[in-house]
Structure formats: structure tokens, C-alpha cells
Amino acid sequence: MKVGDLVTIAGSMERLGYPRCIGIVTCLDPEEIGHNDEVAVRWTSGFTDESNHSVWSLEVINASR
């Protein structure tokens, strides 16, 4: 996962009645503590504007080049 990737929450939250949330990865290791499996995501809908997530809880929709 890298900056610029479009992501969504892994798994199907839609079947639980939640809308599909799409975001863009804006930063790797946002807390700068050596956690390379944590990213900051700016969400377009459904969540707060930006939040930190484990890469294991996200699914890449469209990888940046």
C-alpha cells in the first residue's frame, strides 16, 4: 500500500447496511513510530475526514502508479 492508493474497508460492510466508504492513502506511518503497516486515509464519505488504519483492515480499489 502506498500514498495515492484508493482504498475501502476490507470485508463487506455493505451487507451490514453501511455505505461503501472510499478514501485515499495520504501518509504511511502517520505517527512516525516505525509502524509500516499503518496509514492515514482521507475519506470521501461515511467516516471522519481523515483517520489512521492498519493496512490489514483496508482493501486497495485502485493502486496509484
Span 21-63, pLDDT tens digits: 889 999 999 878 888 899 999 988 755 688 899 999 899 998 8
- The secondary structure of residue 16, as a DSSP letter, is G
Task: Spell out the domains of the chain, with CATH numbers in brackets.
Answer: 6-62 (2.30.30)
- pLDDT score, position 48: 64
Q: What are the φ and ψ backbone dihedral angles of 23, each rounded to 5 degrees?
A: -145, 175
Residue found by looking up cell 499503518 in the block: 38
pTM for this structure?
Answer: 0.80
Question: Do residues 8 and 61 lie in contact, with contact meaning Cβ atoms separated by under 8 Å?
Answer: yes
